[in-house]
């Protein structure tokens, strides 16, 4: 049997290694466990706000990474991942402990925007808007 914490780390390792969020079936194979056991583990972590599941039970967010395309592309070392929002797209750079850049767009005009991090220092224009107060972030994490 596997621990939730081990599955959590495996999910991140797979995202970093492959650039894609692993499916439940992939995780089941990697930990040699049943689909039901993997789904139960993922559900516990979803309920604990450690990740976010799709209605199908597949992973939607292993924050800061998004399993689905978003307008927030993080580029590190020539590789790309999707972030869930501007905070998370910068969070991918932090998670990978590397230099990188975020290719995003203005939330209203759609105009292309870019933020870069080199040596821990950020450069780039724009302003970040948090629409919902912190106490409501998990009311609708997808909108947030």
> Is the Cβ of residue 78 or residue 97 nearer to other proteins in the bound state?
97
Q: Are 34 and 71 in contact (CB under 8 A)?
A: no
Span 61-120, contacts to other proteins by CB under 8 A: 63-64, 85-88, 90-95, 97, 104-109, 111, 113, 115, 117, 120
> Is the Cβ of residue 40 or residue 128 nearer to other proteins in the bound state?
128
- Tell me the CA distances in angstroms from 134 to 62, 95, 137, one per residue in order: 19, 22, 5
Question: Whole-number minimum distance, CB 40 to other proteins, in Å?
Answer: 19
Q: Are strands 100-105 and 73-76 parallel, antiparallel or unpaired?
A: antiparallel
Binding mask of the shown chain, residues 20 to 49, with x at each position contacting other proteins by CB under 8 A: ----------------------------xx
Burial 11-38 (b: 16+ CB within 10 A, else e): beebbeeeeebbbbebbbebbebeeebb
> Is the Cβ of residue 34 or residue 130 nearer to other proteins in the bound state?
130
Q: Are 144 and 87 in contact (CB under 8 A)?
A: no
Residues forming the site for other proteins (CB under 8 A): 5, 8-9, 12-13, 16, 48-50, 63-64, 85-88, 90-95, 97, 104-109, 111, 113, 115, 117, 120, 122, 124-135, 137, 144
């Amino acid at each position: 049997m596997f621990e939730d914490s081990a599955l959590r780390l495996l999910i991140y390792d797979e995202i970093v290694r492959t650039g894609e969020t692993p499916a439940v079936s992939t995780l089941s194979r990697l930990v040699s466990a049943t689909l039901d056991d993997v789904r139960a583990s993922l559900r516990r972590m979803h309920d604990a706000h450690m990740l976010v599941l799709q209605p199908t039970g597949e992973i939607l967010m292993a924050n800061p990474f998004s399993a689905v395309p978003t307008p927030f592309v993080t580029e590190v070392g020539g590789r790309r991942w999707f972030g869930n929002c501007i905070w998370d797209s910068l969070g991918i750079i932090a998670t990978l402990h590397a230099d990188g850049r975020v290719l995003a767009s203005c939330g209203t005009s759609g105009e292309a925007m870019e933020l870069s991090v080199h040596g821990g220092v950020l450069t780039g224009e724009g302003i970040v808007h948090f629409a919902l107060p912190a106490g409501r972030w998990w009311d609708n994490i997808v909108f947030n």
